[in-house]
Amino acid sequence: MSKMAPVGLDIGSAGLVAAEVHGTGTRRTVRRLAMVDLPPGAVDHGDIRDEQAVVAALKQLWRRGRFGQRRVRIGVTHRQVQVREVTVPALRRADLRRSLELHVAGEFPNGTDGLVVDVLPLDRTEVAGQSCWHGLLVSAPQACVESALDVTRRAGLQPVGADLSALALARALEGTVRGVSGSVALVDVGAVATSVVVVAAGHVRFVRLVALGIGGASQEAVAALVDGVVTTLDYFRRSNACEPVAQVVLTGGGALVDGFGQYLASVTGLPVSIGNPLVGARGPARSRGGDPDLAVRAGVAVGLATDLAA
């Protein structure tokens, strides 16, 4: 029997979400799903400000969710996360990771000290007769990643990996975007930050982190966020040759704010819907936390818990 995938853990500014998933793809079953709130300011734009509060919340989360293990894969999101296109030699994944800094040195004029760097290969191409990968280069502050690893260990959990939250979201919503003609923009709306992920033909093509959230859901906050999302989609349209965005799928707590989806649809002229990471999964998740809208907040956690080989 193959080893169970670790529990996916999303550490957000408003709260913690964890998911336990068995199987992959269309055979995926979300077995456990739980959420707890965090005190205001405990986590700010990916920086853990109150470690004691986060550790306590993690312990509460595990009691509430009754998860069957303590191995976790952590989502990484931070205001200084950068995602850019890159072309690297078409090496095996393990060999590429070992030599990655050498191949992407030109992308970091100040070096990679203090950064965690990884690459997501997308398409195989040829450059000057050499077989290469065209993909997404991801960098995140090492201190941010280490802080998240530290609080999980202090809560009695065993971190076994980390992944960019935006990429995890795309895995979770694979069933939602499957078969859609054109590109789909996945917009994960948080309290203080928003991720925009464009998926085309089943592959992530673009990731942008917008340093704006839904805030207190004031008219000003909603208008500013919609403007930020529209600007991001316009940039994608101008800079990418793949099919233009045909629809928008909202996730995260901000997706539930009354009128937000309708406002975004009216400004972009695109159909806007609410994403559900449980689409395509078998069996109801065992949800503990008393939140009937937990599913829309669980995309990142479900994606993190989904086997990376899926």
Architecture in CATH of 1-80+142-172+277-310: 2-Layer Sandwich (3.30)
> For residue 246, what are its two tokens?
């045909």
3-class DSSP state for residue 116?
strand
Q: Would the pLDDT of 172 be above 80?
A: yes
If one compares 289 and 130, the residue with the highest pLDDT of the two is 130
Mean pLDDT of 58-62: 98
Q: Would the pLDDT of 229 be above 70?
A: yes
Residues 310, 29 contacting (CB under 8 angstroms): no
Q: Please give the mean pLDDT across all residues of the chain.
A: 88
Of 9, 4, 72, which Cα lies nearest the Cα of 301?
A: 9
| pLDDT of the residue at 74 | 97
Q: Hey, what amino acid is at 158?
A: Q
Rounded to whole angstroms, how far apart are CA atoms 207 and 228? 14
Handedness of CA 224, 229, 233, 238 (dihedral sign): positive
- pTM (whole model) above 0.85: yes
| CATH of the domain spanning 174-276 | 3.30.420.40
pLDDT band at 1 (very low <50, low <70, confident <90, very high): very low
> For residue 103, what are its two tokens?
């191949």
